[in-house]
Structure 1
Amino acid sequence: MVQQSGSGRRAEIAGAGIGGLTVAAALAQRGWSVTVHERAPNLRTFGAGIYIWSNGLRVLKAIGAYDQATIGAHIGPVFHTRDHHDTTMEEIPINRPGGARLITILRETLINALVDACRRSGVDILTNSEAVGATPEGELLLADGSKRPADLVVGADGVNSQVRDSLDLMMYRKSLGYGAIRMLIARDDGDVCAGDRDRYIEYFTGTRRILYTPASATDLYVALCCASDDKQALQVPADRALWTQSFPHLAPLVARFGDAGRWDEFEVIKLKAWSKGRVAILGDAAHAMPPYLGQGGGCALMNGIGLAAAVADAPDVAQTLRDWEARERPMTEHTQDTAERLGDMNFWPDDVRSQVLKITGQCREIAMERMKTALHAPTATQAL
């Protein structure tokens, strides 16, 4: 974890999510005075799991959050993609020497670890504090009418970012016509066969998917994915009869779905620029992507620490933000574009998808493109 002498500089950050907390901790560890503004009354997160690959784990290590974040994490041996006959189309080995590492944890576990890293570093986190905009000169504008001047303002306030929109930075925002109901339930030995219990598995039937993700010894993260016009499938609580009909081999698992869950539509957001003046945009506000690579959080972690490292002692923050974008954006856009292409298969006929994935799953070049982000060494990090 970096610890440097104080620079006397100040940062105001909108949003206490993954990106906002990462850049806050990393800046404070470099001597900055940092305040994070969270519009919600508390820092609790929606109950779901999250994938963290090697690139994200390196960032957690660099800011001193790794040990806490990985307590109780699930470390699976392989990722399977299964077709409508429950036949494996792709098998991706993970957590092997020389390859990509992957852990799954509760999103709440990650946020708590980032919050504690921030507080250990002296970050001030204010709840019930809503940002409504920013000025290029370096002011964060709050809903109560106050203005918070800073050397750096960061808009990490999600897909509906008011900071971003106040600066007219949007290039486009595209709905992908697909989304997921996410939920957490207790793990049970009867959900899948014994050989599958610790694996990560994605099951396809028609335009529907079920993602099976152990997130700890006791927690199972489930995502029910479907097209946005599949009105019966996206109902919350989940229609257990419908999902059992689509996935009869998962009937014991589907029977245990509770009433919790939340439907979220997948989107892609791209900006004209990631900054204006002394304001930077980070995380989903800048580069929302579908979750098919499990790298939305990973890119927020990478770009957060990269931002802090870039501006740490920079004499010209505005120019440095442009340089930061030039360095970090290509990897993020590779991740976005690859994830979006993977989503195309949602709408393929079952037999076509099965045959294509059985072929492409044997192609090393395609596998390396998909693993490029996971194997990337983020700015200001070291090997695990």
Structure 2
Amino acid sequence: MKTAIVVGAGIGGVTAAVALQQCGWQVTVLERAPELGEVGAGISVWPSAVAVLEELGVKGVEKASVQSKPAGMRRPDGRWVVSAAELGVELPVMIHRAQLHDLITAEFGPAVTVRTGCDVTSVEQDADGVTVNGELRAELLVAADGIRSAVRGGLYPQYKGPRYSGFSAYRGIAAVDLDDGGGETWGHGQLFGFARLIDGRFYWYGTVNQPAGATSEPTVFQSWHDPIPRLVAGSEKVLQNDIYDLTLPLVPFVQGRVVLVGDAAHAMTPNLGRGACSAIEDAGALARHLQGGELPTALTAYDAERRPATTKLVKRSRALGRVAQVENPLLRATRDGLFGLGGKLMALRARK
């Protein structure tokens, strides 16, 4: 049986493990945390990622998630700029990140071994395989160790890596009673969005332009339209983290017998809500190519498919973040006007 090591047990890493298992590989997952699990709040799962999970045999994603109700973009005073229905956009399903992680790891079989509390300190490869920490040996290594990937750093020491976006994010889960479809509200260098999860609670996120490393409370949103203040006040815990993406151009996703997936390959800002979904799609593509040919050919095909696709997402998400976080009053008014006009034109076109 072919052998693989997966470094990192986040969404991308555990999906890669399931994908390799399905291809007949023996997989060892290395996770630096003391126990397997996922932290964070909500996550949007787009239909393309749902399809990959279904192909990999992951059960219950649709049942465990809630289709987003019609939503859209508002101003801080509550006035609508444009609705998702007007734009005709495809909406994701929403699920708690930890719940999605549990659904994926539930598919681990005897072919998957997990080692927690394991830091990767060295990776060496030759023509026949890869050695991790001088002792673990496999034919393939999948690096899913996040935006500050140690594996990527070893492969490409000259690469600049993470780039600060200029804004920090707040996230929370609120147990409040709302009859609201959710969506996003764009303000003066700030953004707030929310959506309902399966258990009736609401996942929310807010972003604020500020220097990297600054710590603060999301008090700016207290004066925004209902139900935003209630969502923040109704959260037991609020997470804050600076938002980074990876410097462009992205490095090759494959070097020898080492392949990058997820944030290790293409970390992007959360503005498109595609980060974790792209990691899932990476795993699906890797499995598909591994089933179709020899290892070098399969990995070359994986890189040729996924690097251009995710490069576009990194660029688009970064561009959307810049538009959403704009502070200039004239540019904000122009932005809102263009979005509103675009929605009306698309709605008119749809009726015709």
Please indicate, yes or no, whether the TM-score normalized by the shorter chain is above 0.5.
yes
TM-score under structure 1 length normalisation: 0.81
Corresponding residue to 2:97 among 90, 107, 123: 107
| 1:230–1:254 Cα change, 3 Å | farther
Which stretches of structure 1, 4 residues or longer, exceed 6 Å deviation after superposition? none
Q: Is the 8 A contact 2:167 2:209 kept in 1?
A: yes
What does residue 147 of structure 1 align with?
135
Within the alignment, does 1:265 sit opposite 2:243 as a pair? yes
Taking only the aligned residue pairs, the percentage that are identical comes to: 26
CA distance, structure 2, for counterparts of residue 91 and residue 230 of structure 1: 32
| 1:224–1:330 Cα change, 3 Å | same
Corresponding residue to 1:44 among 20, 37, 52: 37
Q: Is the 8 A contact 1:21 1:114 kept in 2?
A: yes
What does residue 202 of structure 1 align with?
184
CA distance, structure 2, for counterparts of residue 132 and residue 269 of structure 1: 24
Q: Is the 8 A contact 1:134 1:140 kept in 2?
A: yes
Matched to 1:262, the amino acid is Q
CA distance, structure 2, for counterparts of residue 230 and residue 319 of structure 1: 41
| 1:181–1:75 Cα change, 3 Å | same
What does residue 343 of structure 1 align with?
321
What does residue 82 of structure 2 align with?
90
Most deviating of 30-39 and 41-50? 41-50
Cα deviation digits, residues 47-78 of structure 1 (max 9, x gap): 3000001111001101111x333333121232
What does residue 223 of structure 2 align with?
245
Residues matched between the structures, number: 337
TM-score under structure 2 length normalisation: 0.87
Within the alignment, does 1:73 sit opposite 2:65 as a pair? yes
What does residue 185 of structure 1 align with?
174
Q: Is the 8 A contact 1:187 1:214 kept in 2?
A: no
Q: Residue 347 of structure 1 aligns to a residue in which SS?
A: coil
Within the alignment, does 1:62 sit opposite 2:50 as a pair? no
Q: Is the 8 A contact 1:48 1:183 kept in 2?
A: yes
Q: Is the 8 A contact 2:148 2:162 kept in 1?
A: no
Q: Residue 300 of structure 1 aligns to a residue in which SS?
A: helix
Q: Is the 8 A contact 2:212 2:242 kept in 1?
A: no
What does residue 112 of structure 2 align with?
123
CA distance, structure 2, for counterparts of residue 230 and residue 172 of structure 1: 16
Shift of 1:291: 1.0
- The unaligned stretches of length 5 or more in structure 1 are 1-7, 365-384
Shift of 1:230: 9.1
